[in-house]
């Protein structure tokens, strides 16, 4: 029995480690820290995207600090202050962490640059290009 305990413990540790690899919230520093097609963005593994349609349901595509486009995790969405958002995102008037922009070209494909200079889905802005709360 004493020989099987270390083996069982080792199996449990490897299983737990592998389980972490499939989680969207795995911490990372480099893309190689992530599994499959995920990329390291703002310290967390996530899916890359061109538009929000490339992201899992309920997630938006946004621009990371290195200008790559990545899917925003639900845990990265809500905010009250800019400090609540992972850099380079800012807390917009609708209390969502969003990418900053000067023009539509700064946003992921299909999104628009609002009057408050953040990227949003067209369905999230009114006819005057203001974010809808």
**Looking at the predicted structure, is the pLDDT value of residue 9 above 90?**
no
**Looking at the predicted structure, is the pLDDT value of residue 13 above 60?**
no
When mean pLDDT is compared across 37-41, 49-53, 95-99, 128-132, the lowest value belongs to: 37-41
DSSP state letter for 38: -
Q: 107's torsion region: left (phi>0), alpha (psi -120 to 50) or beta?
A: beta
How many CB atoms are closer than 10 A to CB 117?
Answer: 15
Q: What mean pLDDT is predicted for residues 32-44?
A: 82
DSSP-derived pairing of the beta strands 61-63 and 69-71: antiparallel
Tokens representing 28 are 């990372």
Q: What mean pLDDT is predicted for residues 71-88?
A: 89
Q: What mean pLDDT is predicted for residues 15-33?
A: 57
Average pLDDT over the chain, rounded to an integer: 79
DSSP state letter for 13: H
Give the per-residue pLDDT at 25: 56
């Amino acid at each position: 029995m004493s020989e099987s305990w270390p083996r069982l413990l080792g199996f449990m540790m490897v299983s737990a480690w592998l389980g972490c690899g499939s989680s969207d919230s795995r911490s990372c520093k480099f893309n190689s820290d992530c599994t499959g097609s995920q990329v390291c963005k703002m310290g967390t593994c996530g899916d890359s995207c061109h538009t929000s349609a490339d992201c899992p349901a309920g997630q938006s595509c946004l621009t990371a600090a290195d200008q790559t486009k990545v899917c925003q995790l639900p845990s990265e969405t809500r905010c009250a202050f800019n400090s609540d958002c992972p850099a380079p995102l800012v807390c917009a008037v609708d209390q969502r962490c969003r990418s900053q922009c000067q023009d539509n070209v700064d946003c992921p494909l299909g999104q628009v640059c609002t009057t408050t200079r953040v990227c949003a889905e067209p369905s999230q802005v009114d006819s005057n290009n203001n974010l809808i709360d």
